[in-house]
Structure 1
Amino acid sequence: MMKSLIILCALAWVSVIAYGDSQYQTQAIDSPDRSFPVFYQQLKDKMSFSMAWNDKVKSPKRWRKQGLAKARELIFPYEDNTPFDAVVIDSVERDGYRAEKVVFNISAESRVLALLLTPDGDGPHPAALFLHDHGARFDIGKEKFVQTWGDDARLKSSQQWADKYFSGRFPGDELARRGYVVLSIDALGWGDRSVPGFKTDSQQALASNLFNLGSSFAGIIALEDKRAADFLASLPQVDTKRVAAVGFSMGAFRAWQVAALSDSITAGVADCWMATMKGLMVPGNNQLKGQSSFTMLHPYMARYLDYPDIAALAAPKPLLVFAGGQDKLFPVDSVQEAFSRLHEVWRANGVEDRLLTRIWPDKSHTFTEDMQDAAFAWLDQQFGINR
């Protein structure tokens, strides 16, 4: 502990020096990482997680009820029950399913364009809400998971993304071919909802201004994900008992979050985003750099619940969480600690068989074809689909 504290203080943007009988903080001269104040460890020690799961919890149901109330209070900036008023503006027929561009009210303030895939044949069908990653690329959002049409530039961009992270596949289209209704949306700042320069200039400004407005970037995304889940579940072709949230990277964070917070979601598939808060607070981690982190930071959450606790509020719903053993964004020891917490909660609920966690030793930050196949086969099993 003392060794790690010394290292962290060496990285701090201020240092402590002695002058006579007094000590005071001053600017560090050689500081390769300016993310930490010198009192970093003291603040970290104060992270109480007062409502976190622990072995003294006697009633998993009561813990979930109280945790959900607190999580919803801290995460959602407001309630929104605006009518969706959906309109289909374009469609194409594909092999085994129909692809549509649909416009709907995702909130009282935002009317958005989404991509909707519906399998051929009589419904109701199982369904999946696809939640895209951050990826430091903002010209595409919903198109990262679903193959678009009528826009050559976006199609080229999204194919490059699929080649880099998804073995050349569009996972949403793959699940549609398997008989699922698929909805893919843009988070605020991506695709049709982006602006030039968002990568370098606007993310932190947007987050700051949302704080000024009494909200948060992460809160807006969470609210809209819940609304998208409700919209998907409201469609007549959807089986409301079989609606999954599927996400990669930041989308994985969104997937287990909405699986916990939304009654419309009945299962979750999350690839490459799970760890403890303290485990991610290490030099160089993206959670400490601003920009992308604001899409996942809920003010004051550390006083009550850790990341695995929020995900565990989904129990007893089925949940799959994958991680890459070579993923530099998520330290393996922190991932393992989070996985252990998840298993404790599902075990206490008597449904540990509904939770699948797996670290893929040779994988980095990806959702490759074999990972997709394993995840989708698991989802079929949870929804009682035999192939």
Structure 2
Amino acid sequence: MTTMARPSAIGGYEDWPGWTAGRPLLDGDDLTSRLAGALGVPAPGAAPAVRTVQEWERDGVSVTEVEWSTGVGPTTRAWTARPAGVERQLPGVLLLHCHAGVKSIGAERLVRVAEPTVVAERVRRRLYEGRALAEDLARRGFVVLAHDTFAWGSRRFVLDPPPASIAGPVALARAALAAETGPDDDRGVDVVGDAYDVAASLHEHVVAKAAGLLGTSFAGMVAHDDLVALAVLRALPGVDPDRTAVAGFSGGGGRAGTLAALDPRVRASAVVAMMTTTEPLLPAYADAHSWLLATPGLLHRTGLPEIAVARRAHDLLVLSFDGDELFPPDGVRAAHAELRDRFAGRRGGASTGSPAATGSLEEAILPGGHAFSAVAQERVGAFLERSLAG
């Protein structure tokens, strides 16, 4: 009797086990080493070679689609946006896309690409007030890099066929999606993209399992990709490598806080809609979040406010929303109070001998739900201008 081969549980990343074998974790100062150890962040190699795919100019912004290899899995696709015709060195911003339960695309939601997908336009309308934030920031005088990170867009896993453990649920979900949509559906549905996102949602726990077996974590692999992208940004022509910042919304906001803690050269970070103390996440809010926020034991040892403000010599902006359905309101308020407390040095300052913060802290809880409002986007842009000027 012939036995059918079991589908890969890590489609597209079959080189992952060999890549991690013997690879050290990211090392650096005490803060970098502690957080990298908690997340299991593999040490990135040298900045990769970057290949230009295509270029265009629109509304005063020059956009370039590029790609590079991180050394494992599929090739990374990314976009740079910069003010057209400007020759002098400019500050750089690494703009980090959100999770949103949408992995069929990555950074495409932050820039209007040459051939936009239905999914990207829908996410932009739902979460970014229809704005292409990368291009808006470029108009303010930044070179912006937005990349697909581990498991998203060009870096997504191959899920056709799906791993055996999720094949049944994936088939049911895809059948339900097909039953409620048709070829002439006018509700902004992308049957192929949406079907992938259903499968990817069910697959994320499989990726987290594999990461744990390999000595890393889902968040650790994302941080690795983000560190590679940060190196690419600093090496881009026309970027001042000493004036770089990271910014993101939701899962991208958490990634921004993590990057600022991992890399002491980050001059500023903007964390939007990703701030709470740990305890209120249970029992009712942990299921609202992905494995990006669920590295085993991390938040028991180091909470989000502590991670965000830990790199005390950099500028930090934290924006939350009072009607954000993904976060406990009491946890959000407590986290902002803790940010102020930690930054002022009332915790971990003179009592432990650590130096007072030398950067700046701006924080606010704005009206609204879980979306990157135009008001919040404007505040992020103005903050980056202040922090990266000069």
- TM-score where L is the length of structure 1: 0.76
Structure-2 residue corresponding to 1:358: 364
Bigger-Rg structure (1/2): 1
Show CA shifts across 1:323-361 (max 9, x none). Answer: 11000111222112222222223222555871111001x
Query: C-alpha deviations, 1:209-264, integer Å up to 9, x for none?
Result: 22122221111001111221121112231112221111011111001111111134
In the TM superposition, what whole-angstrom CA distance separates every residue of 1:39-64 from its partner, at most 9, and x where no partner exists? xxxxxxxxxxxxxxxxxxxxxxxxx9
Asked if 1:336 is matched to 2:298, the reply is no
Q: Which residue of 1 aligns with 2:102?
A: 137
Please name the residue that 2:304 is paired with.
307
The answer on whether the counterparts of 1:189 and 1:198 sit within 8 Å (CA) in structure 2 is no
1:76 and 1:222 in contact (8 A); partners too: no
**Structure 1 pair 205/84, CA: closer, same or farther in 2 (3 Å)?**
same
Query: What is the deviation of 1:83?
Result: 4.1
- 1:105-135 Cα shifts (integer Å, max 9, x gaps): 2345553111111223122111111111111
- 2:323 is matched with 326
| 1:184 equivalenced with 2:146 (yes/no) | yes
Question: Distance in 2 between the 1:279 and 1:200 partners?
Answer: 24
Partner of 1:171: 133
**Does structure 2 conserve the Cα–Cα contact (< 8 Å) formed by 1:82 and 1:105?**
no
Is contact 1:256–1:314 with CA below 8 Å preserved after alignment? Answer: no
Is 2:267 the counterpart of 1:266? yes
CA distance in 2, matches of 1:189, 1:307: 23
Partner of 1:104: 68
Taking the aligned partners of 1:179 and 1:111, their CA distance within structure 2 comes to 29
Partner in structure 2 of residue 242 of structure 1: 243
For 2:331 and 2:62, the matched residues in 1 are separated by 41
Per the alignment, residue 345 of structure 1 pairs with 342
Q: Cα gap change, 1:246/1:294 in structure 2, threshold over 3 Å: closer, same or farther?
A: same
CA offsets 1:22-79 (integer angstroms, 9 cap, x no match): xxxxxxxxxxxxxxxxxxxxxxxxxxxxxxxxxxxxxxxxxx9544331122224321
Is the 1:123–1:239 Cα contact (8 Å) retained in structure 2? Answer: no
Partner of residue 43, structure 1: none
1:303 is displaced (CA, Å) by: 5.1
CA deviation string 1:109-163 (max 9, x = no partner) = 55311111122312211111111111112222111111111x34x2x32222222
CA contact (8 A) 2:42 2:221 kept: no
Query: 2:112 is matched with which residue: 125, 147, 150?
Result: 147
In structure 2, the partner of 1:84 is 48
Equivalence for 1:275: 276
Distance 1:140 1:109, change over 3 A: closer
**2:248 partner letter:** G
Instruction: Give the AA of the match of 2:219.
Output: A
Contact 1:138 1:198 survives alignment (8 Å): no
Distance 1:81 1:137 in 2: 28
CA distance in 2, matches of 1:118, 1:288: 38
CA–CA distance in 1 between the matches of 2:265 and 2:70? 15
Which whole-Å CA distance do the structure 1 matches of 2:136 and 2:357 have between them?
A: 28
Q: Aligned residues, how many?
A: 314
> What is the TM-score when the length of structure 2 is the normalising length?
0.75
Question: Where do 5+ consecutive residues of structure 2 fail to align?
Answer: 1-27, 159-195, 346-354
Identity of aligned residues (%): 27
Range with bigger deviation, 235-244 or 246-255: 235-244
Give CA deviations for 1:261-312 in whole Å, capped at 9, x if unaligned: 11342111111001112121232x1x246xx521232233245322211112
Look up the equivalent residue of 1:294 and give its one-letter code.
Answer: W
Q: Which runs of 5+ in 1 are unaligned?
A: 1-63
Cα–Cα, structure 1 residues 265 and 202, in superposed 2: closer, same or farther, change >3 Å?
Answer: same
Amino acid at match of 1:367: F
Q: What is the Cα-based RMSD across aligned positions, in Å?
A: 2.1
